[in-house]
Amino acid sequence: MVQPSFFDEFGALFKALSSETRIRVIDLLTQGERCVCEITAELGLSQPLVSHHLSLLREASLVHRRGDGARTYYSIDWRQFDHLVAGLQLLVDTGCAETEKGGSTGVCARAWGTAGRSAPSSTR
């Protein structure tokens, strides 16, 4: 069973990932550290809007922030991503195990798109 505090983390995660803009920011950061000015230029958005989205990603502990003079740089917090992926997999695996106890494996197989195979492992 997952600890109740983990659900709080998932709430922050899903809130952070509920915006196409924040997903685009994360996609940029998977390619490496970026300063806010690079993110704004790449996405064609204003600096205050990008900073707002980065703040929400920071609240979910998905990104690191590093100041360097007048510039602020962001990068992915891979340890937190790995932690959340492992937790999500635990939730799915637990739910699938409970479903399988009831005699139905179809829901889990459809969820993973892997009828007859096990769920994918967390890799990066």
Same structural domain, 46 and 91:
no
User: Does the residue 117 lie in any domain?
Assistant: no
Q: What is the pTM of this model?
A: 0.69
Please give the pLDDT value at position 117: 44
What is the total count of domains within the chain? 2
Same structural domain, 65 and 11:
yes
pLDDT tens digits, 59-79: 888 999 999 999 999 999 999
User: Does the residue 58 lie in any domain?
Assistant: yes
Same structural domain, 32 and 87:
no
Strand order through the sheet with 34-35: 34-35, 71-76, 63-68
pLDDT tens digits, 19-59: 999 999 999 999 999 999 999 999 999 999 999 999 999 98
Please give the pLDDT value at position 94: 76
Range of the domain at 69: 4-76
Cα(36)–Cα(41) distance, integer angstroms: 9
Neighbours of 34 (CB within 10 A): 19
Same structural domain, 54 and 108:
no
Same structural domain, 72 and 92:
no
Same structural domain, 12 and 69:
yes
